[in-house]
Amino acid sequence: MNDPVLPIVKDANNGEQPITTAPFRRRKTRLVHVGSIPVGGGSPVSVQTMTKTKTSDIDATVAQINRCEEAGVDIVRVTVNDKEAAEAMYEIVKQTNIPIVADIHFNHVFALEAIKANVAKVRINPGNIGKVDRIHQVLGAAKENNTPIRIGVNSGSLEEDILDKYGYPTPEALYESAMRHAGICEDFGFTDVIISVKSTDVRLMIEAYRLIAERTDYPLHLGVTEAGTTRIGTIKSSVGIGTLLAEGIGDTIRVSLTDQPEKEVEVGKDILRSLGLASRNVELIACPTCGRLEVDLFGIMEQLENALGHLKKPVKVAVLGCVVNGPGEASEADIGVAAGKGVAILYRKGEVIRRVKEEDIVPAVIEEVTNFQPDEGEKQTEISV
């Protein structure tokens, strides 16, 4: 496994501590193209989601994909679970700009139909796709059409013989399942393969991915399956996906939430931004608040998030609600606000610009962000890898 390579400094007790702001060393993998999106091979980590509509409802599915595109998604997965869904894929692919992945369970015929519809990738679950000859049919069609395959192993649907061998889902069981079907692809001469080994258990998921990362060069799709509601799912996904990304493992991610797919995209992109692995939007920072708060910071941040949250501009905005830590922390941001009772000091790059009234904080920050010119180094959209 490739651990992140970090420079070492001495702490106060002369112990060695890594400087955690150093760039990560990304694990080297083969390159697979999912439509226009490169996955692996040192490419930026891409963000995926999955539609929540009935696939046979073409208009609703296309509308949802378009909303995800506006949210910044790179790849969208669509379930193909029946004949009507398979037939709908032709129009869905035609009517959207984002690479579409067909999610297949049980019936390999749907995978063949999706490939005919020119999907950008097919995801199959080895545990329920059926006999090897069916997989060969899918691989043959995919190879002819230059369609990559994601082998999607899930701890909840492992093959019976593997469960019998290990007793219950383990990292080794997930690894063995993935390698069994990767081997089928390799024997067939098919190498455009991406692998995922998901589990709802974060620790199991992390260890399974580490095994594959250590022993293979396949690009990896990261995710915690069935992560849960927005709050719990965000926490589990951030811990699982974030841990692996911080170790240089992972080439594309999907955050699974019981919520709209746009929310999955937002959380996924926030995970990447927190590690410096994605192009930056406006980054909004605020204090957690305490009894020293003298302004309506909750309302101010909600307005700023609505106005600036999706603006693709590398600007760090810090809004602090008291005079204790506020001035120092606000001055460290590109645009900073240190608020007191009904008034605030506005900073730009550490320099005091002016005082503003509480009711003018939001328009003042929006104006500063709009006019802000990032340094050349800040315009870079991806850290060096």
Kindly give, in sequence order, each residue whose CB lies less than 8 Å from that of residue 161, ignoring residues fewer than 6 positions away. none
Give yes or no for a contact between 94 and 112, defined as CB atoms under 8 angstroms apart. no
The CATH number assigned to the domain holding 320 equals 3.30.413.10
Q: Are 195 and 151 in contact (CB under 8 A)?
A: yes
Domain end among 274, 308, 337: 274
Q: Can you read off the two tokens belonging to residue 171?
A: 């990292």
Q: What is the pLDDT of residue 287?
A: 82
For helices 261-274 and 58-71, angle between their N-to-C axes, nearest 10 degrees: 20
Are residues 359 and 218 part of one domain? no
The pLDDT tens digits of the residues spanning 28-70 come to 999 999 999 999 999 999 999 999 999 999 999 999 999 999 9
| Same domain? 83 vs 209 | yes
Residues 123-180 pLDDT 10s: 987 666 768 888 899 999 999 999 999 999 988 888 899 999 999 999 999 999 999 9
pLDDT score recorded for residue 127: 61
Number of domains in the chain: 2
**Which pLDDT value is given to residue 10?**
37
Predicted local distance difference test score (pLDDT) of residue 200: 92
Q: In terms of residue numbers, what domain contains 339?
A: 283-379
Q: In angstroms, how far is the first alpha carbon of the chain from the final one?
A: 16
Q: Does 156 reside within a domain? A: yes
Q: For residue 124, give the H/E element and its range.
A: strand 121-124
Domain boundary among 274, 306, 329: 274
Predicted local distance difference test score (pLDDT) of residue 313: 81
pLDDT of residue 204: 96
Q: Hey, what are 355's tokens? A: 């005082």
Residue 291: the pLDDT is 78
Query: How crowded is the C-beta side of 381, counted as CA atoms within 13 Å?
Result: 9
Strands 149-154 and 121-124: parallel
Q: In the numeric block, which tokens belong to residue 199?
A: 């589990």
Distance of alpha carbon 246 from alpha carbon 4, whole angstroms: 7
**CA atoms of 153 and 66, how far apart (whole Å):** 28
Pairwise CA distance, residues 104 & 113, whole Å:
11
**CB neighbour list of residue 59: distance below 8 Å, 6 or more residues apart:** none
Write down the pTM of the prediction.
Answer: 0.80
Asked if residue 151 and residue 70 are part of one domain, the reply reads yes
351 domain-assigned: yes
pLDDT for position 381: 39
Indicate whether 2 belongs to any domain. no
Instruction: Compute CA distances 277 → 43, 352, 383, whole Å.
Output: 10, 31, 6
Residue segments in the chain with a per-residue pLDDT below the cut of 50: 1-22, 376-385
